[in-house]
């Protein structure tokens, strides 16, 4: 067994763990668990699930929790069955939730969110009847009376929240939702007192804050989530944002939280490609304009980064949302000087946002217990069993970890080092952070005393007569090679060799297969590590123009000629994840990658790759042909052992290679471990 425990952390999180005095209430420290929609909000009949989710995080030291967005009205719901809080009949349920959090000394604010034109139903309303590009429904323009009713509805929800015991509310004024739609002129074409001048356009937000303050009283936290960087051409100017912030303070807000970008804008703001703490400079810019505390957010996933933001004076508090999905013990580990052992959010969005968009319950790729705390409690198994895990890619790592943490004796083998296919992802620009996940599991296995055998090729003779209660095969996949004439030509390489030998790849490349890995390889080939990330996405840190955008986009064309090919006649990358697929397609388009669909492969020879496209024969004169055509399961040993009656189980790619992703693999590992 090798010594893989992480070294002790030596950073002291002075600023992060310091309390914050808001005058009428003191917060334990400066961490906010930001608003996240988990899908449990709508399951009021199973409230204990949401309670357990919040409770586990409150118990581990988070200072302030902001709930997922809850609408004050029917029209403001995000989808027809999304949650709404507007009746006293709902008080008892909310009270249970609040009590669970308060029992551990944390505070909780209810986020009030009116979707406006982002509502995914026919009752959508907005300042003007202008459809958003991300909803099929054209909203109805609000009448003056309806505007006043919505302001009153916000106040009523806040009043109810106070009665339920919430410490305050967060008013969602950013990300392109209703309040933001009033503020910006592209969505507000009104000519009455709610539109036209900036004073008129910000009136709606200020009236809401005043109404809440009046109805909920002085000793009630009001956080306003302010869009500090709209990232579209008709967004607010910096002068307007400063004015608005000052007015928000005057209207009675307690804290201002940072909102970045509108959901419809095609600039990434939270994905893994976004640099760490990429937007804390925006919060800092506002520091001198107001006296109330500011909260910064976006791509802050470690106590070190949070501490850095606070030490630099970027903000007074740090909001993290997905990092609390990845590790409920985030603050506790920082307090115990063990931040090195935190399971880091890798900003993949696969377990959280992508699932929510599919109307599924959110969880976390690296922590599949998130939002499933009730079904998978932190408990020990009744009897200690002997479990053998073969293959330590992420499926095997997860199974070994959860089995050992439930008290079983675990012995694990891998024919190489730990991490499997996930190690290839770590080599893709923007996914380097994935290494954190492998390191996390590695450290946990060491702490839990799992016997790990690396570079050990397990054979039938090792397992035929061995005693074990369960032998888990997580032996993964091998790249699939398609049947194309010339597939053995020297110019052909599989994706694994291409990723591991990328320095040797010349300038003309054809990629066969435009799935997740084809996209990964194409991104690797066109990535330019020297370019400034902000400029490459048109963001102006000088904030000279509206929305914080550069006047002219920067040319992103890659010097490599890359072809990305598929046989199907459908949009390339159609099946990529909802919240990150567009970033990947856009990155390749801007880099000039030639994406071809409906391709037939004829042969590969010294002249290049011969294809038929649009009914015409073509030869792509390339130096390399990289094969990204999926995988095949590695499970021969599993089948042999099953035949002789050993208690075998199979998970991950070894079970099903097609469409398997890391999120499913890690979850399968955990689910199986809980059956032992």
Residues marked active site are found at 177
State how far the Cα of 173 lies from the Cα of 182, in Å rounded to an integer: 10
Which residue, among 167, 160, 32, 37, has the nearest Cα to 93 in the 3D structure? 160
227/398 with CB nearer ligand NAP: 398
- Under the binding rule (CB under 6 A), the answer on residue 351 touching ligand NAP is no
| DSSP line for 562-617 | EEEE-SSSS-TTTTS-HHHHHHHHHHHHHTT-EEE-S-EEEEEETTEEEEEETTEE
- Under the binding rule (CB under 6 A), the answer on residue 432 touching ligand NAP is no
Q: How far is CA 423 from the centre of its chain?
A: 20
CB 577 to ligand NAP: min, Å:
5
CB 624 to ligand NAP: min, Å:
16
Which residue, among 281, 258, 296, has the nearest Cα to 539 in the 3D structure? 281
Listed ranges 89-97, 527-535, 555-563, 626-634: which one lies at the site for ligand NAP (CB under 6 A): 626-634
- Under the binding rule (CB under 6 A), the answer on residue 628 touching ligand NAP is yes
CB 1 to ligand NAP: min, Å:
31
- Under the binding rule (CB under 6 A), the answer on residue 629 touching ligand NAP is yes
- Under the binding rule (CB under 6 A), the answer on residue 631 touching ligand NAP is yes
- Spell out the alpha helix ranges (H) of 366-514: 394-405, 422-425, 435-447, 460-463, 495-500
- Under the binding rule (CB under 6 A), the answer on residue 661 touching ligand NAP is yes
Q: How far is CA 27 from the centre of its chain?
A: 26
Q: Using CB atoms within 10 Å of the CB of residue 344, give its burial: 0 to 12 exposed, 13 to 18 middle, 19+ buried.
A: buried
CB 361 to ligand NAP: min, Å:
19
What is the number of other CB atoms lying within 10 angstroms of the CB of residue 211?
A: 21
Which residue, among 342, 346, 321, 322, has the nearest Cα to 331 in the 3D structure? 342
- Under the binding rule (CB under 6 A), the answer on residue 106 touching ligand NAP is no
- Under the binding rule (CB under 6 A), the answer on residue 516 touching ligand NAP is yes
For residues 519 to 558, the per-residue mask of contacts with ligand NAP, x marking binding by CB under 6 A and - elsewhere, is -x--------------------------------------
| Near ligand NAP by CB under 6 A: residue from 518, 548, 608, 669 | 518
CB 497 to ligand NAP: min, Å:
14
100/433 with CB nearer ligand NAP: 433
CB 598 to ligand NAP: min, Å:
9
| DSSP line for 174-221 | -TTSHHHHHHSTTT----STTSSSHHHHHHHHHHHHHHHHHHH-SSSE
What pairing do the DSSP bridges indicate for beta strands 631-633 and 508-512? unpaired
304/661 with CB nearer ligand NAP: 661
The position carrying tokens 């509108």 is: 262
574/617 with CB nearer ligand NAP: 574
CA atoms within 13 A on the CB side of 369: 25
Q: Which residues touch 217 (CB under 8 Å, ≥6 apart)?
A: 162
Listed ranges 124-132, 517-525, 632-640, 668-676: which one lies at the site for ligand NAP (CB under 6 A): 517-525
For residues 448 to 487, the per-residue mask of contacts with ligand NAP, x marking binding by CB under 6 A and - elsewhere, is ----------------------------------x-----
| Near ligand NAP by CB under 6 A: residue from 73, 84, 328, 566 | 566
Residue nearest to ligand NAP (CB): 515
- Under the binding rule (CB under 6 A), the answer on residue 494 touching ligand NAP is no
Q: How far is CA 280 from the centre of its chain?
A: 18
- Under the binding rule (CB under 6 A), the answer on residue 630 touching ligand NAP is yes
What is the number of other CB atoms lying within 10 angstroms of the CB of residue 566?
A: 23
CB 352 to ligand NAP: min, Å:
13
| Near ligand NAP by CB under 6 A: residue from 396, 513, 548, 669 | 513
- Under the binding rule (CB under 6 A), the answer on residue 567 touching ligand NAP is yes
Listed ranges 117-125, 198-206, 230-238, 656-664: which one lies at the site for ligand NAP (CB under 6 A): 656-664
State how far the Cα of 49 lies from the Cα of 641, in Å rounded to an integer: 39
State how far the Cα of 422 lies from the Cα of 64, in Å rounded to an integer: 34
Listed ranges 115-123, 160-168, 373-381, 622-630: which one lies at the site for ligand NAP (CB under 6 A): 622-630
Residues at the interface with ligand NAP (CB under 6 A): 482, 512-518, 520, 566-568, 577, 628-631, 659-661
């Amino acid at each position: 067994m090798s010594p893989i425990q992480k070294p002790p952390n030596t950073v002291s999180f002075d600023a992060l763990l310091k309390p914050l005095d808001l005058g009428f209430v003191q917060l334990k420290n400066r961490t906010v668990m930001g608003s996240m929609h988990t899908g449990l909000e709508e399951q009021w009949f199973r409230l204990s699930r949401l309670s357990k989710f919040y409770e586990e995080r409150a118990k581990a030291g988070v200072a302030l929790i902001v709930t997922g967005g809850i609408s004050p009205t029917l029209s403001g719901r995000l989808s027809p069955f999304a949650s709404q809080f507007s009746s006293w009949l709902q008080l008892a349920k909310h009270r249970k939730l609040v009590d669970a959090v308060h029992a551990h000394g944390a505070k909780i604010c209810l986020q009030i969110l009116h979707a406006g034109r982002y509502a995914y139903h026919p009752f959508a309303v907005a300042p003007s009847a202008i459809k958003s590009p991300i909803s099929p429904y054209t909203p109805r323009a609000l009448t003056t009376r309806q505007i006043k009713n919505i302001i009153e509805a916000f106040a009523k929800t806040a009043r109810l929240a106070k009665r339920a015991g919430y410490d305050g509310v967060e008013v969602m004024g950013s990300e392109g939702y209703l309040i933001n739609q009033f503020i910006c002129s592209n969505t507000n074409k009104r000519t009455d007192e709610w539109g036209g001048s900036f004073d008129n356009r910000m009136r709606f937000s200020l009236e809401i804050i005043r109404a809440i303050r009046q109805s909920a009283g002085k000793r009630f936290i009001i956080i306003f989530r302010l869009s500090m960087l709209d990232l579209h051409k008709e967004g607010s100017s910096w002068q307007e944002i400063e004015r608005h912030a000052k007015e928000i303070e005057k209207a009675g807000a307690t804290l201002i939280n940072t909102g970045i970008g509108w959901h419809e804008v095609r600039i990434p703001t939270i994905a893994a490609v976004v640099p760490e703490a990429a937007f804390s400079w925006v919060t800092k810019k506002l520091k001198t304009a107001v006296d109330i505390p500011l909260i910064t957010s976006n791509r802050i996933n470690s106590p070190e980064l949070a501490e850095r933001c606070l030490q630099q004076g970027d903000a007074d508090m740090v909001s993290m949302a997905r990092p609390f999905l990845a590790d409920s013990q985030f603050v506790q580990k920082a307090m115990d000087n063990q931040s090195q052992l935190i399971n880091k959010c890798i900003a993949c969005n696969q377990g959280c946002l992508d699932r929510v968009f599919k109307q599924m319950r959110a969880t976390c790729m690296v922590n599949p217990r998130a939002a499933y705390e009730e079904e998978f409690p932190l408990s020990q198994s009744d009897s200690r069993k002997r479990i053998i895990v073969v293959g330590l890619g992420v499926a095997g790592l997860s199974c070994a970890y959860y089995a050992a943490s439930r008290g079983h004796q675990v012995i694990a083998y891998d024919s190489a080092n730990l991490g499997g296919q996930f190690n290839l992802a770590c080599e893709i620009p923007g996914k380097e952070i994935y290494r954190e996940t492998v390191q996390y599991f590695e450290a946990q296995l060491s702490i839990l005393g799992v016997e790990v055998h690396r570079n050990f090729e397990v054979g039938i003779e090792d397992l035929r007569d061995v005693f074990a209660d369960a032998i888990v095969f997580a032996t993964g996949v091998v790249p699939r090679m398609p049947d194309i004439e010339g597939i053995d030509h020297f110019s052909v390489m599989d994706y694994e060799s291409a990723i591991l030998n990328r320095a040797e790849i010349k300038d003309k490349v054809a990629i066969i297969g435009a799935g997740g890995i084809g996209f990964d390889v194409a991104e690797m080939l066109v990535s330019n590590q020297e370019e400034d990330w902000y400029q490459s996405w048109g963001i102006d840190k000088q904030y000279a123009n509206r929305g914080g955008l550069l006047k002219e986009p920067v040319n992103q064309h890659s010097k490599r000629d890359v072809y990305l090919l598929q046989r199907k006649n459908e949009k390339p990358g159609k099946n990529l994840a909802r919240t990150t697929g567009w970033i990947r397609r856009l990155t390749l388009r801007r880099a000039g990658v030639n994406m071809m669909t409906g391709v037939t492969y004829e042969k590969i020879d010294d002249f290049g790759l011969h294809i038929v496209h649009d009914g015409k024969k073509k030869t792509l004169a390339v130096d390399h042909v990289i094969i990204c055509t999926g995988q095949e399961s590695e499970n021969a040993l599993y089948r042999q052992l099953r035949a002789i009656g050993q208690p075998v189980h199979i998970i991950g790619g070894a079970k099903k290679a097609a469409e398997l992703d890391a999120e499913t693999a890690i979850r399968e590992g955990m689910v199986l471990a809980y059956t032992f």
